[in-house]
Amino acid sequence: MKKVILFAAVGAFALSMTSCTKDYTCTCEAFGVTSSVDYNGLDKSEAETLEASCTANGICTWSEQ
């Protein structure tokens, strides 16, 4: 019984440590040509960093899939 409780506690801890990840797309349009790059499984800090680089030039947009 102690092993079951320990296993359940470890499982609950592992699940609580996983972060929510989301998928995003950076879409750029220049001279009538559109190009998109998909970013999958990003956590919040990764998404914020990539969003800043995506939108820095002013011709690209950042969106959540």
**Per-residue confidence (pLDDT) for residue 45, from 0 to 100:** 94
Which comes out higher in pLDDT, residue 56 or 1?
56
How distant is the alpha carbon of residue 27 from its chain centre? 16
- Give the tens place of pLDDT for each residue, 3-58: 556 555 655 555 555 568 999 999 999 999 999 999 999 999 999 999 999 999 99
**CA pseudo-torsion sign 51, 52, 54, 60:** positive
Distance CA 24, CA 7 (A): 35
The number of helix segments (H) and strand segments (E) in the chain equals 2, 3
Q: Report the pLDDT value the prediction gives residue 54, as an integer from 0 to 100.
A: 97
Domain ranges across the chain: 20-64
For residue 20, what pLDDT is reported? Answer: 87
Q: Which of 43, 31, 37, 33 is nearest to 61 (CA)?
A: 37
> Model pTM greater than 0.85?
no
